[in-house]
Amino acid sequence: MKRFSKYVLLAAALVTGIASCVKDLDTVPLDKDEITSISVYENPASYIQVLAKVYAGLAVSGQQGPHGNPDISGIDEGFSTYLRQYWCAQELPTDEAVIAWNDGTLRDYQEMDWTASGEFIAAMYNRLYYQISLCNEFIRESADAKLDARGITGTDKTDIQGYRAEARFMRALSYYHALDMFGNVPFVTEEDGVGAFFPEQISRADLFAYIETELLEIEPLLPAPRTNQYGRADQAAVWSLLAKLYLNAEVYTGTAKNTECVTYCQRVIDAGFSLAPKYENNFLADNNTSPEIIFPVNFDGTFTKTWGGMTFIIHAAVGGNMVPGQFGIDGGWGGTRVTPTFVKKFYPDIEGNTVPGPVVSPKFIPKKTTYPVIYVPGSHQGWDPSNTSTVLASVNSDGKYEGYLNFAEAGTQFKFCDGPSWDVNYGDDGADGTLDRNGANIVATDAGYYKINVDLNALTYTFMKTDWGVIGSATADGWNSDQNMTFDAATGLWSVLIELKAGEIKFRANDGWDLNYGDDGANGNLEQNGANIAVPDAGTYTVTLKLGIPDYTYTIVRASYDRRAMFHTDGQNLEIQNPFAFTDGFAVTKFKNITSTGENGSDMTFVDTDFGLFRLADIYLMYAEAVLRGGTGSMTLALNLVNEIRTRAYTDESGNIAQGDLTLDFILDERARELYWEGCRRTDLIRFGKFSGGEYLWEWKGAAEKGTATDSHFDLFPIPVSDIGANPNLQQNAGYN
Amino acid sequence: MNRDSFSILGKLFLPVLILLFLSQSVFAQQVVTGTVKDAQSGEALIGASVSLKSDPTKGTITDVDGKFSLSVAQGQTLIFSYVGYVTQEYAIGQQTNISVLLDPSTEALAGVVVIGYGTQKKKDATGSVTAVSSKDFNRGSIVSPQQLLIGKASGVQITTGGGAPGEGATIRIRGGASMSASNDPLIVVDGIPLDNQGISGMRNSLNSINPNDIESFTILKDASATAIYGSRASNGVIIITTKKGVAGSKLKITYDGKVSLFTVPNSIDVLNADEYRTYYNEVYANNPNALSVLGTANTDWQSQILKSAFGHDHNLAATGSVKNMPYRASIGYSNSDGILLTSNMERYTGAISLDPTFLNNHLKININAKGMRENNRFASRGAIGSAIAFDPTQPVYTDSDRYGGYFEWLQADPTRPISIANLNPLSQLLTRYDVAGVNRFLGNVQVDYKFHFLPELRANLNVATDLSNSLGTINVADSVRQNYDIDADGNLIGGIDAEYKQQKKNELIDFYLNYVKEFGQSKLDIMGGYSWQHFYRKGNYFETNAAKTITNSDTDYESESYLVSFFGRLNYSLMDRYLLTFTLRDDGSSRFARENRWGLFPSAAFAWKIKEESFLKDVDVVSDLKLRLGYGVTGQQNITSGDYPYLARYTYSESTAQYQFGDGFVTTLRPEGYDANLKWEETSTYNVGLDYGFLDNKITGSLEYYYRFTKDLINTIPVPAGTNLTNQILTNVGNMVNQGVEFSVLGRIFSTEDLYWEVGYNVTFENNRITKLTATDDPNYKGVFVGYISGGVGNTMQIHSVGYPQYSYYVYEQVYGSDGKPIEGLYVDRNGDGVISADDKYMYHSPAPTVFMGLSTRLTYKNWDFALAGRANLGNYMYNNIDSGNGVNAYMYNTANYSTNVVQDALYTRWINPKYWSDYYIQDASFFKLDNVTLGYQFKNLASKKLDLYLSLTVMNALTITPYKGLDPEVYGGLDNNIYPRPRVFMFGVRLDY
């Protein structure tokens, strides 16, 4: 009996001991950064954080910024972000961009010869479905029944129902991208759980219908335009996406829906957005203040860091001799440029490596950096002999000094000082034109702009009042008479706003040829009796003349030009012989990490600049296009909208077009000019039938330097081999097997 | 008291209870005394075992004079055994005093090997077990235990990670059975299975064991040997046994000291300054911008950062015995610099081992404690890449004190460096202070009790703990080039001030019962037990800029896992000729969901001692012959995706990955992908082995064939898009087959008193094929892309593909011109579709050798001894990333306005743009390496015969013969890029025995 009890005890100990061991196997995460799904959704405050991840899915690469703990794998984390992949897929295969990097199959994008094995296409696809899965998870977990089961009621519940509608919008957005890029894709909704199953493939037309239905359903559930927090979707975002969907409906389904497109564009137009006063403000570090951006993807140099997204778009565009600091960044990555074909949307006649742009005059090259000077103190400047802005210079260091001074008042008195003090000073006793040491003040009777010459060897001087004008074959009266310039005392410059023809000009004083300047060697440095100055193109120009202290120079700047042509051309070649050389192809200066007031962003590596996924100017152009394509709408409004955009671009109405100019071809080019590098181009070219095939060529399309025809199957990207392998329900898009 | 320690006490309580409950009295009998001596030398054998044949649990061991005393009944038989000697039986008649002479035996076959949860005579082993003892270890300047074993056992491949002091090594036993999951073998130190997660702040977590304290390695290769370790056994098991004291021995003190000179064996062939100027001027003849950056200096950047270095190592050990308690205590100190400037490792170790016995040998207690402190300074390996690529025409220093006085590439505005340009390699090393200190304690108490009422039954309890504590700091000043940053106002805001910490606490409780009984011709040995292990780690990484005004990173982690197991083994032998072994382990892991948590791992083995059969008994030429057949299933739970891959979890974003809503930023919550059905990986192994001995065991060895089939391979694969919260998931998919033939031979050519010469050789043929990879069988599915290279971003060079070995290279087939030179960008259109696209890539070789072998020899003549060890790998290919990344001229000038050097291969190919995927860069990396040559001399009986002095000279990494064009043909994984060069070492060693 005693022994028996021993064994009972032993057995009991065994059972207890083992049971306690086995129970240890039920573990929960210890890390405070990790919580279980159940505890997340029990807390009403967590929902907005999950929703924030849905939005952040477009921007960041993972849960650590700038990298670490990535969302998707199988590709370098910096490359893996949604926006970076979207940008590459929409821009690199088009005339708008080439990239100098030879990473993996990246070059296949610009050569339009990709296959289903390309890792960048796979990364885009994986991002889309990662985003869709995130949305599905949130939509599933925020269903009313689940909220009720968790006892979430009242405003918490109402708020979460709103979040849910936003998540549905975000899912529709990614499905729209899937529809546009991949066409026939796997279809999963919140009805499907998380786990091992094979989604069915949905046809492109059915997916179109699904997205349309979703958007129409959630439209009333979302806040009115411009009433949600910045960065979150509102009804205008829904309308914008509907408009895009309808504009491309014929591509997606075979049936055009232009009137629907017009309808939803009209709603956005009426929603209270307005064009930013300056085009470039949409692409700067404080573009969150732009009244034009309807739906942004947000970045921040401190709190939303990534190597993808805008960090990529801005850094990759800087290279060659561009100064990174001028873009608010610490260094360029030397990647992206534009093709010559694209440059010609702005400058149709550009040839060779001629630098186009607003400045027609040559770059000023000083002959020397410093010249010996004498000082001209007087009543015009408070009798200060050390004032270095009122001096005359000896260009040949021969004791002969000259320069221009503005005497604002009649009867201005002055003297000459050899050195910035009164120690050695000259006046003119008797006003006889010879200089006297410590002599009397010299007096200029009239107010005006004087040319002054002093010869300290001979102790003589002259001074003459001058008025300047532009003359030449480029001017309205040819070589017959001057076009007068006006002097601005604040800047010290003579200038005139003038219509010029292609031709030549010179500057001359006092309506005569005694004193005239031309430019020998076209180096920006003016010479007396110098060569005529060429004006290559007709246009409205601001011509300025800078005299004052030698050297004398001038600028001829186009007053009326398209300010959207934001290129860096110095050190770049227009033509692209080698796509992998950054200096082949013009660089683009559109996006910067600098605010509209010139301040740097909060960090020099990671940028503050947001990406405007939907922007009012896009809606304007979509309206015009949909009307041109036969949608029911106002042709007058269409023209006005386009001209509103162009007026902003030119800062005046000189670029406006007439009704007759408003054609579909014009729209396609205008979209390029207005929306380049904003992720629209591939879709646009496909809608116009100019993406694949041979009708429209650009450099390196089809891997040929001047471009070559490609097969039409490239209008859709292939479903990546990884998913074809993982999901037996999928059929590859035509042409990729 | 927290919950953890409470539950541990609870678990301890159980086996202690069992021990307390059971007791028995002892019988007294007549006393026999005697001595045991070596039959050849006549020296007394200390610690020889004397036991009753009828009751092996009764016995004693000889004392320091070889004497013993034991109660024996008349007519009983005593068994005398001693490691390394032939066991002898002695029938007791009237004598009360006997003298026994034991013959030294051939170690390999008579030795006792340590196996999982017990020991076994080597000759009774049914599984594939290789023991390597201290006398067979590699010699030289060795601070990492793994290096002792390199080349010593067939089927075992050890590749060091490079030449850093105390560098870790990758061990692969039979090629590994897994793909994504860890392929590292389970390492068991004195009965404690270690985790293989590594320790922060150490290059190699095994460094916490001083190689001088190691007595032997036992490598369990096939499933019948490893299955007792169940879910961690698929990749083999290495059991490390540390040195112990010997019962009854006198105090013996040994000092072992080494001084080493590490030299730079060779460097990568880059252009020197003159060659560079010539080539650069040729390439950029028409580019004035490019020509303007060329400098006038002549700098060999590699020799700036790689220098000869010194190291020294001291070990003092005392062994002896206090009455019934043998002990060993040792301390060690080691300090070596690396040949890459600034790298250093300093280590203090201490170990104590106590083995007291009580209750007339019924109760044995074994206590081991090992402590270690390691201080490391890590050198930035990026400096090696920078040194290869840095323009040799630029000087090391400038006159300016900006950026620490080092030459750096600057933007036109000199307040900013060119962010994408290489860093000055020397500055990269000298301006970064990256140090770590690690403390580790590894201790266990093993209690072995032989039941008084049932001496055939023995209970064994092992309680162990493994603690480590790491603290690392990284400091980079804000005024130097690396991590340089200034704000818009020109203030320095860069540099690094970082600190990381880690605490690990692993605990173990093992308990088992062992019953051994002979029935006539049969012998039964049954063992059953359970094991509980807890793995816990916690740490953080906090990084700010040097001024501590900007937080760059603030991450912390804490995680744990448990493993609970029940296991048993049955050994049955009939007529000492037919041996059967069955093992079974039931493992439960917290890393899987409740439904998949438990895995059952059985094995069975049969061995036939053919030599014992009558037809072979009298064939003298054959001295030993044994056939072994084994089959078993093992598992793999060492997955690489954390401790909760089955659980639906959410993760908060760090402060730098928030998202802006309105004017504020929201910390996001991300749902994690998971596979609720994740379970064990299972490997089935078939093994056939033949152990042989010829000519009185002058020639011994074994021949083995194995076939391993892994199913439910834990692998990271693409999920069907949209079905999970990730695009790739770790799941059970795919099958893989490994097979191989292993052969080893050891020949003792001379074995006389003055001259001893042995030669050992082993060779392994291995073959690996992936047989299934995805849930569906799609013929167009290429596989999983792996093997990220340096160059571009995210470029992979390897693939796991069905029908091919894992990590096969996936490249284009290069076309060569009539001059034999590769033509840039011209590849074979393998699919014949007229265009060269990604579909033209093909599988081309793999990094794994098809054959590898080890050769060693040891020659002793009088007081001289000479040893040599070498290895060869055949059929292994390497991707020469150094050449592919630095072998073209397009980027010699970067338009950001800086220049980079190229390798000599650039002059040969004259290629312009990188052609990473050309198979031109896949190069045969077969090699023969003479790892080590040692010459030693022993001065015996110095200082009135109290002292032995042994002096030795060793050259390590003496010679490499290879067709490979790169620096070193041995890079684990097959992607040669920035390897820390392995130094050639000249070492002088002193050993003093007192």
| Chain segment B627-660, per-residue pLDDT in tens | 999 999 988 877 767 888 888 899 999 889 999 9
Does the beta-carbon distance from A25 to B657 stay under 8 Å?
A: no
Q: What is the pLDDT of residue A13?
A: 63
In chain A, the percentage of residues whose pLDDT exceeds 70 is: 96
Instruction: Give residue A1's pLDDT.
Output: 43
In chain A, residues with a C-beta closer than 8 Å to the C-beta of B538 are 30
Which of B412, B655, B785 is opposite residue A303, by nearest beta carbon?
Answer: B655
Closest CB to B792 among A28, A101, A303: A101
SS (H, E, C) B46-93: CCCEEEECCCCCCEEECCCCCEEEEECCCCCEEEEECCCECCEEEECC
Residue B21: pLDDT band by 50, 70, 90 thresholds? very low
- Best of A722, A723, A730, A736 to disrupt the B interface (most B CBs within 10 Å) is A722
Interchain proximity B289–A79, CB inside 8 Å: no
Compute how many other C-beta atoms are within 10 angstroms of the C-beta atom of residue B817.
Answer: 10
Q: How confident is the model at residue A125 (pLDDT cuts 50, 70, 90)?
A: very high
CB contact under 8 A, A195 and B723: yes
**Which residue does chain A place closest to B533, by CA atoms?**
A21
Substitution target in A3, A14, A24 with the highest count of B β-carbons within 10 Å is: A24
Task: Tell me which residue in B413, B588, B774 faces A725 most closely, judged by beta carbons.
Answer: B774
Residues of chain A above pLDDT 90, percent = 75
Lowest-pLDDT range of A240-254, B489-503, B941-955: B941-955
**Token pair in block for residue B919:** 């198979």
Nearest CA in chain B to A67: B657
pLDDT in tens, B755-799: 989 999 999 999 999 998 876 666 777 788 888 888 777 778 999
Q: pLDDT tens for residues A67-84? A: 888 999 888 888 999 999
When pLDDT is cut at 50, 70 and 90, the band that residue A15 belongs to is low
Q: Give B960's contacts (C-beta < 8 A, 6+ positions apart).
A: B927, B928, B929, B930, B968, B969
Rounded CA separation A484/B158 (Å)? 88
What burial class does residue A349 get, using C-beta atoms within 10 Å of its C-beta: 0-12 exposed, 13-18 middle, 19+ buried?
Answer: exposed
Could you tell me if the ipTM is greater than 0.85?
no
Cβ within 8 Å, pair B650-A34: yes
- Over residues A452-499, the pLDDT tens digits come to 999 999 999 999 999 999 999 999 999 999 999 999 988 899 999 898
HEC letters along B545-560: CCCCCCEEEEEEEEEE
CB under 8 Å to B717, separation ≥6 — which residues? A726, B728, B729, B731, B733, B734, B773, B774, B775, B784
In the prediction, which pLDDT does A8 show? 64
Tell me whether A725 touches chain B (CB under 8 Å): yes
Task: Count CA within 13 A, CB hemisphere, residue B674.
Answer: 22
Radius of gyration of chain B (CA): 31
Residue A690 Cα, gap to closest chain B Cα (Å): 23
What is the gyration radius of the CA atoms in chain A, in angstroms?
Answer: 34
Q: At what angle do helices A635-650 and A664-675 cross, to 10 degrees?
A: 40
The pLDDT confidence band at residue B399, using thresholds 50, 70 and 90, is: confident
Q: Please, what's the largest Cα pairwise distance for chain B? A: 108
Q: How far is B40 from chain A, CA to nearest CA, in Å? A: 52
Secondary structure (3-state) at B993 = strand
Output the average pLDDT for chain B: 87
Amino acid, single-letter form, for residue A498: I
Closest Cβ opposite residue B656 in set A35, A187, A305? A305
Work out the minimum CA distance from B729 to partner chain A, whole angstroms.
9
Across the interface, whether the CB atoms of A300 and B780 are under 8 A apart is answered no
Task: Kindly determine whether residue A725 and residue B661, on different chains, have CB atoms separated by under 8 Å.
Answer: no
Least Cα separation, residue A605 to chain B (angstroms): 9
**Residue numbers of A between 424 and 463 with CB closer than 8 Å to B:** none
The answer to whether the Cβ–Cβ distance between B774 and A26 falls below 8 Å is no
CA distance B171 to B185: 7
Nearest Cβ partner for B11 among A20, A108, A319: A20
Would you say residue B3 has pLDDT above 50?
no
Q: Are B566 and B546 in contact (CB under 8 A)?
A: no
C-alpha to C-alpha distance for B861 and A406, rounded to whole angstroms:
107
Interface size between A and B, measured as CB pairs under 8 A: 379
| Encoded amino acid at A492, one letter | G
CB contact, 8 Å: A33 with chain B? Answer: yes
pLDDT at B470: 95
H/E stretch holding A92 reads none
Q: DSSP assignment, residue A619?
A: H
- Average pLDDT of the residues in A399-419: 93
pLDDT by residue (tens digit) across A46-58? 999 999 999 999 9
- The answer on pLDDT for B593 being more than 50 is yes
Task: Output the CA–CA distances (angstroms, integers) from residue B596 to B452, B586, B637, B683, B886, in the order listed.
Answer: 42, 12, 12, 17, 49
CB-CB neighbors (< 8 A) of A69 in chain B: 651, 654
- Does A321 sit within 8 Å of B895, measured CB to CB? yes
| Chain A CA closest to residue B566 | A18
Contact B656 A581 (CB under 8 A): no
The whole-number average pLDDT for the span B472-480 is 93
Confidence of residue A439 (pLDDT cuts 50, 70, 90): very high
Contacts of A106 (CB under 8 A, 6+ apart): A88, A92, A99, A120
Average pLDDT over residues B537-545: 92
| Interface residue A304 vs chain B (CB under 8 A) | yes
- Three-class HEC string of A624-674: HHHHHCCCCCCHHHHHHHHHHHHHHHHCCHHHCCCHHHCCHHHHHHHHHHH
Please provide residue A87's backbone torsions phi and psi, each rounded to the nearest 5 degrees: -60, -45
Contact B661 A229 (CB under 8 A): yes
Which pLDDT tens digit goes with each residue over B925-943? Answer: 999 999 889 999 988 877 7
Nearest beta carbon to residue A194 from set B538, B724, B774: B724
Of B648, B652, B782, the CB nearest to A721: B782
Asked if B594 and B194 touch (Cβ cutoff 8 Å), the reply is no
For A194, nearest residue in chain B (alpha carbons): B724
The confidence score (pLDDT) of residue B25 equals 36
Q: Quote the percentage of chain B above a pLDDT of 90.
A: 48
Interface touch B719/A726, C-beta < 8 Å: yes
DSSP β-ladder status, B31-38 and B97-102: parallel
Better pLDDT: B142 or B789: B789
% of chain B residues with pLDDT over 70: 94
pLDDT in tens, A687-715: 999 999 999 999 999 999 999 999 999 99
Q: Does B2 score more than 60 pLDDT? A: no
CB contact (8 A) between residue B18 and residue A134: no
pLDDT of residue A431: 86
pLDDT band of B83, cuts 50, 70, 90? low
Mean pLDDT of B976-987: 89
Q: Cβ separation of A24 and B564 shorter than 8 Å? A: yes
Residues 226-265 of A with CB under 8 A from B: 229-232
**Span A516-532, mean pLDDT?**
92
The reported pLDDT for the residue numbered A356 is 57
List B584's β-bridge partners, or say none: B568, B602
Sequence-ordered list of residues with C-beta below 8 angstroms from that of A648, at least 6 positions apart, any chain? A275, A277, A278, A279
Say yes or no to pLDDT of A412 above 60. Answer: yes
> B650 to chain A: which residues are within 8 Å by CB?
34-37, 40, 46, 50
Whole-model pTM: value is 0.79
- Could you identify the residue written with the tokens 């055939």? B456
Q: Are B896 and A117 in contact (CB < 8 Å)? A: no
A204-218 helix and A235-247 helix, angle to the nearest 10 degrees? 160
Nearest CA in chain A to B836: A113
Smallest CA–CA separation between A533 and chain B, in Å?
29
Q: What is the pLDDT of residue B6?
A: 43
Q: Taking residues B724-741, what's their average pLDDT?
A: 89
Strands (E), B151-220: 156-160, 169-173, 186-189, 192-193, 214-220
**B337 or A330, which is more confident:** B337
**Which residue of chain B is at minimal alpha-carbon distance from A69?**
B653
**Distance from B787 to chain A by nearest Cα, in Å?**
11
**pLDDT over 80 (residue B463):** yes
| Closest residue to A50, CB basis, from B558, B669, B719 | B669
pLDDT at B27 (0 to 100): 42
Judged by a CB distance cut-off of 8 A, whether residue A696 touches chain B is no
The H-assigned helical ranges of B592-702 are 614-617
CB contact under 8 A, A104 and B795: yes
